Amino acid sequence: MVDEFKQKIAGEISLSPDPGKTIRKWREEFGLSQHQLADAMGVSHSVVSDYESGRRKSPGVTVVKKLVEALIELDVQNGSPVIQRYKPDVKLDCILAMDEFPAGIPVERFIEALGGTNMNPDRVPVKAIHGYTVLDSVKAILSLGSEDYLKVYGWNIERALIFTNVHLGRSPMIAIRAHPLTPAMVVYQRPEQTDQLAIKLARLEGIPLVRTDLDVQEIVSRMNSLKEEI
């Protein structure tokens, strides 16, 4: 399980269009300062700072491996709280469906498959969608603690979070805004309406906010069809 977790983190950093931002989010997820991470990696503080700020180009395989090993080693020394939070041994009631794609799906193709409308058209990133999670928004808001959010992201952060049972759409975006990990896309399934605040928050996060009127069963069916296209 630890090896799979390492691969997940390394993969997200390597695939991210902004590796520095992804490094920072994982460092914060592990509750570490730049100094702590740098010391564990055996590098100067400025190296971590430069990667996170984008002053250094994307890290190579050796640096990513050293960084991931440092994150895991420090977590183990601290009793493995992050590793334990991630263990997929407890099913979250708010998750209705979840899967990964063997390769990235272009954002426009993903939206097309959902019959969706991008309510934040200024944000159509180059990044692809590597997985999806369908969540009951009310159950998620009422039951998810901060330690549970990592499980929502599955094996890749570059995924779409698809929320059902949406009223105004504020709460899901506020929760995403408050958490250090950010999905590649947020989808509202048959929202009653979408508050302008939700659209503004999506714009601030730099992610598409999509509406679809498909039912959950049809969404999953179309996701399976997308997976077969690859």
> pLDDT tens, 46-77?
999 999 999 998 899 999 999 999 999 999 89
Q: What would the mean pLDDT of 139-149 be, rounded to a whole number? A: 72
Q: What are phi and psi of 130, to 5 degrees?
A: -105, 0
- What's the chain's average pLDDT? 86
Q: Which residue has the tokens 């991470």?
A: 37
Four-residue CA torsion sign, 96, 98, 201, 125: negative
In the prediction, which pLDDT does 187 show? Answer: 95
In the prediction, which pLDDT does 214 show? Answer: 94
Q: What is the pLDDT of residues 183-214, one digit of tens each?
A: 889 999 999 888 889 899 888 888 899 999 99
Least trusted range by pLDDT, from 2-6, 25-29, 110-114: 2-6
**Cα separations (Å) of 59 from 3, 67, 204?**
20, 10, 26
In the prediction, which pLDDT does 100 show? Answer: 87
In the prediction, which pLDDT does 80 show? Answer: 82
Q: Convert 41-78 to b/e letters by CB count within 10 Å (16 or more is b).
A: bebeeebbbebbeeebebbeeebbeebbebbbebbeee
Domains and CATH numbers, the chain: 2-86 (1.10.260.40), 95-229 (3.40.1390.20)
Q: How confident is the model at residue 164 (pLDDT cuts 50, 70, 90)?
A: very high
Q: What's at 224, amino acid-wise?
A: N
